[in-house]
Structure formats: structure tokens, C-alpha cells
Structure 1
Amino acid sequence: MFGCNSEKKNDYASSENLVVSDTTASVDTTSIAKIIKTADMRFRVKDVQGTKEQLSASIKARGGTIAEFSIESSIQERDKVKYSVDSLKEITSCRKEGFVIAKIPSEKLDDFTNSVAKMAVFVDHQAMKMDDQSIAYLANKLKAQNRVDAMNAINKTATRKGNNIETSLYIKDDYVDKKIENMSIDNRVRYSTITLNFYQDNTVNAIIVGNDNLYDYRPGFFQRLGLNIIDGWIYFKEFLLGLSRLWAIIALGLVIFFGVRYLIRKRKV
């Protein structure tokens, strides 16, 4: 019986082995330098669409990628003037703005910002931020190594108890989280994020559109006058027809009126 139990216990330990291997036997605390660079610029250009195309080519040439971009036109003022009987000239003043978020290799960030400044007519704002994540990176690496040691210790004394499995899974998940955090830091160190906001002077566009003023489509004065006379005659005939339906009431009203009048005159006499 003891031999069977021992054999089952060893089989369980081998089947539930959660050993996490790490090639890093020791951590060199002096060689870690994790500097994350971010930059942003706002500038005026001659043509927003053309600048966006130039930026795309420049980013691609330096091994970077565009993470997000948008171009928006906002109407500042709009007016419509009469152009002909059935058309209007629509005059619009609009402001066009562009927005780009790009990932640039960190060693080429300065060169890229200089090239962007040359595209601009006027630079409103330019800034760069350097965030040192060396301590956080080192902390994650040391904690990950601690998780490896803890996992190996737990696996050596693995039993059928559920709390050991739960503890092992928790430690393993936390180990993965630390590794992913460091992978994210490495990626942000290699590729800097730059945010570009650019705009151009207000532009005026004029196009011919259909006349949407319904008053202009009405007939001329004399034609409308003749039509109104005809409509007035129709309304008068309808009025007479309406009175004809009330002849009995009108007749009774006349009899009462003249009867009262006759009685008043007779009394005065």
C-alpha cells in the first residue's frame, strides 16, 4: 500500500510539473538602461494632405510606422449668393487639420523631428520627454527570477492538495505579467512615439449649387395676380353655395327681423 501511494504521488508530481525555465541565471544590474522617448509637435503647413503624404514617406524611410492618423475639415463660415434663377454660388471658408501618431526608431527620433520642422511654415510647439524605466525594468526582472525560484521549490514538494496548484498558477501568471511588462518597455525603448498636429490657413471654396429657396420658383407677378383673381371668384362662388344651404335659416331670420320692426313702429304710432 505504501509503495502504491508513493508511486501515485510521484506520477502526480511529474504530470502536474509547472517548472518555469529562465535562461537568465543572474541579473546584471549595471548594464540596464531603459530610456523611453516621446515627442509631440504642432505646426502650420501649406497643404495638410501633401504634408501627410510627406510624413508617411519619411516615417517609412526611417523604419517607422503610423499608428494613427486623421484629417478633418471644419467650416468656419458659409454663405450663399444668388447666381441664376435656379442656382446659387456657395462660398465656404474652412480650416483643415491633420493628426498623426507614429512609431519611430529611438535613435532616429531627433533626425525625424528636424525633417518635420523643415516641412513646416511655422512651428507652434515642439517638445520631447525622456522617461527612465531602468528601475522598473530591473524590478520586473528580479521579481521574475524570484518567481522561477519559487516555482522550482513548489514543484519539488508538489502534492495532490489543491492549494499548491492554485499557488503555482498564481505565481506562474505573475511571472508572465512581469515578462510581458518588460517586453512592453523594450518595445517602447526601441520605438519612440511622436504625436504630430498640423494645420493650414483657412481656404475659401466656391461651388455652384441648386437654388433651394422655394420662393424663387414661384410664377411671375401678373401670372400670380391672374391666378389669385380666379381663386377669389372660386371662393365667392363657394360662399354663395354655402349660403344656399342655409336659406331656411336666413328666411326665418328675415321674418323675425321685419316682424319685430313692424311691432316697434306700431307701438310708437
Structure 2
Amino acid sequence: MFGCNAEKKDYAADESVSKEVVIADAADTTAAPKIIKTADMRFRVKDVQQTKEQLSATIKAQGGTVMEFSINSSIQESDKVKYSADSLKEITAYRKEGLVIAKIPSEKLDDFTNTVAKMAVFVDNQAMKMDDQSITYLANKLKAQNRVDAVNTINKTAKRQGNNVETSLNIKDDYVDKKIENMNIDSRVKFSTITLNFYQDNTVKTLIVGNDNLYDYRPGFFQRLGLSIVAGWSFLKEFILGVSTLWPFLAIGLGLFFGIKAYLRRRKV
């Protein structure tokens, strides 16, 4: 009986400690809400490359970090016109677009978006989203504390058996997952992610390139005419030589022709 009463007192003490932990965590979370901010902007600029450089400098000055960037050029239309005998003028209309994904200190996000808007010729759209993760953060924190208590209980009461060790390891892994998830929330609360899409008007660029039309590299008309005559004479000679190899058949044919002709003449007489 005394043992049971002592055990009940221990459980009551543990329950009171747990309640105090819950109240303390709830108070801490209420004092520091976990608000995650994300923003998106799309805008037109005069020059994509210069804007990318300005954005990188501004992000660095604000204490942020560029996480990803890319610049792409897509050809809208292209044509080649003759410029000289061996060269062409290539005329290309292309569109250049840029993408920058950065992390900015959350308290400077509004100022940063205002700075970016001043770089733009025209802002297509601008949006910001706020996600309150306070409840999720508190839940992870309380669950992590519960796992600490559970591991302590297992370590006190468990016998040296494999299944108890495995259960303890699973609980510890889950505890680590909750802690890492909260660390990720803290990082996203401290630094906001902003996605910047920007583009410039279609640009026309001309370039002198080599003539890749092989027909233009053929000789002139009279030169080709002389070459054709020479080629025809060569063909005629080859033809005569080829026919000359058939003289036995020609001789037999002539002999048959004259023989039949003489036979018919005799018959008529």
C-alpha cells in the first residue's frame, strides 16, 4: 500500500511537471509567433543582366542570400539576308528572362520589395503570403518533450531486452525529427523566401555571318558553260569508246543485213 501511494505521488508529480511544461511552452509560443513569409514578383526591366547584378548586390546588402538564379534567351524570330557574295546578315529578335530566388531577413522583406519595384519599368504582379506555424511549432515542441519523458521512463523501467532498446531508438529518432522540423520553421521565420521573375522587351540583334548557301559558291555562268562543253566532249569520247568495244556484234549484224538483202534480191530475180 505504501508503495502504491508513493507511485501515485510520483505520477501526480510528473503530471504537474508536464502541465507546467505545457503552460510554459504555450506562453513562449504566444510571445514569439512563428510567421513564415513568402513573396513573389514579376516585372519588366530595361536590361535583364544589369537587373540581376543589381538584385544580387541589394540582396547581399540586406543580409540575404541568393539561393538560385538563371537567365534564358528565347528566339522569337530569325532571318538571314544576303550581305555580300560570301556573307549574310543575320537578324534575330529574342526575348530575355531572368529568375532569382533569394532568402531575405523577414523584417526587411517589405523594404526589399519596395526597392525591387523601383528597378522595374512595369510590375506585372506582386504578392506576399503569411503562414502562421505557431501551433505546429508548439505541437512539435510538446511532442518532443513527451518523447524525452518516454525515453526516461523506458530507461528506468525497461529490462535489458532488444525490443525495449529498439522502442527507445525509435522514440529518439522521432524526437530528432521534431527538433529538426522546428529548426526549419525557425529558419523560415527568420529568413523569408522571395521569387523574382523579370524580363525585358524583345531585342533585335544583327550579326554578319558566313554564307552557308552552297549554291552561291558555284562558278559563274560562262565558266560553267565551258566546263559543260568539256564534260560533253568527254562523254562523247567515252561513248564512242564504249561503242567500239561492240564491233563484233556490228560486223555480224552488217553481214546478216547484206546477206538477207542479197538473198531477197536473188529470189526476186
TM-score computed with the length of structure 2 as normaliser: 0.86
Q: Deviations over 1:3-42 (max 9, x none)?
A: xxxxxxxxxxxxxxxxxxxxx9554213321111111011
- Once the two structures are TM-superposed, the CA of residue 243 in structure 1 deviates from its matched residue by 1.1
Partner of 2:157: 157
Distance 1:268 1:46 in 2: 106
Matching residue's letter, 1:101: I
Q: Which runs of 5+ in 1 are unaligned?
A: 1-23
Partner of 1:144: 144
C-alpha spacing 1:103/1:245, structure 2 compared with 1 (3 Å): same
Segment drifting more, 114-123 vs 158-167:
158-167
Distance 2:105 2:121 in 1: 26
- Once the two structures are TM-superposed, the CA of residue 136 in structure 1 deviates from its matched residue by 1.0
- Once the two structures are TM-superposed, the CA of residue 81 in structure 1 deviates from its matched residue by 1.0
Partner of 2:226: 226
- Whether 2:4 is the aligned partner of 1:29: answer no
Partner of 1:41: 41
Partner of 1:111: 111
Distance 1:241 1:42 in 2: 79
Distance 2:127 2:260 in 1: 102
Q: Deviations over 1:111-147 (max 9, x none)?
A: 1111111111011111111111111111111110010
C-alpha spacing 1:164/1:226, structure 2 compared with 1 (3 Å): same
Identical columns (%): 77
Count of residues in Structure 1 that have an aligned counterpart in Structure 2: 246
- Once the two structures are TM-superposed, the CA of residue 264 in structure 1 deviates from its matched residue by 6.1
Partner of 1:174: 174
Which secondary structure does the structure 2 equivalent of 1:29 belong to? helix
Distance 1:265 1:192 in 2: 118
C-alpha spacing 1:36/1:257, structure 2 compared with 1 (3 Å): farther
Partner of 1:126: 126
Distance 1:167 1:266 in 2: 128
- Once the two structures are TM-superposed, the CA of residue 213 in structure 1 deviates from its matched residue by 1.0
Partner of 1:10: none
Partner of 1:102: 102
- Once the two structures are TM-superposed, the CA of residue 217 in structure 1 deviates from its matched residue by 1.1
C-alpha spacing 1:264/1:191, structure 2 compared with 1 (3 Å): farther
- Once the two structures are TM-superposed, the CA of residue 216 in structure 1 deviates from its matched residue by 1.1
Distance 1:129 1:262 in 2: 114
Note the aligned Cα RMSD (angstroms): 1.8
TM-score computed with the length of structure 1 as normaliser: 0.86
Distance 1:266 1:130 in 2: 123
Which secondary structure does the structure 1 equivalent of 2:197 belong to? strand
Which secondary structure does the structure 2 equivalent of 1:28 belong to? helix
Q: Deviations over 1:239-258 (max 9, x none)?
A: 11111222222333333445
Distance 2:264 2:25 in 1: 130
Q: Deviations over 1:195-244 (max 9, x none)?
A: 00000001111111111111111111111110110011111111111112
C-alpha spacing 1:240/1:30, structure 2 compared with 1 (3 Å): same
Partner of 1:204: 204
- Once the two structures are TM-superposed, the CA of residue 266 in structure 1 deviates from its matched residue by 6.4
Which secondary structure does the structure 1 equivalent of 2:28 belong to? coil
Distance 2:240 2:44 in 1: 76
- Once the two structures are TM-superposed, the CA of residue 63 in structure 1 deviates from its matched residue by 0.4
Q: Which runs of 5+ in 2 are unaligned?
A: 1-19
Distance 1:31 1:259 in 2: 130
C-alpha spacing 1:261/1:70, structure 2 compared with 1 (3 Å): farther
Q: Deviations over 1:71-91 (max 9, x none)?
A: 111111111111111111111
- If each structure's helix is expressed as a fraction of its own residues, which one has the higher value? 2
- Once the two structures are TM-superposed, the CA of residue 268 in structure 1 deviates from its matched residue by 7.0
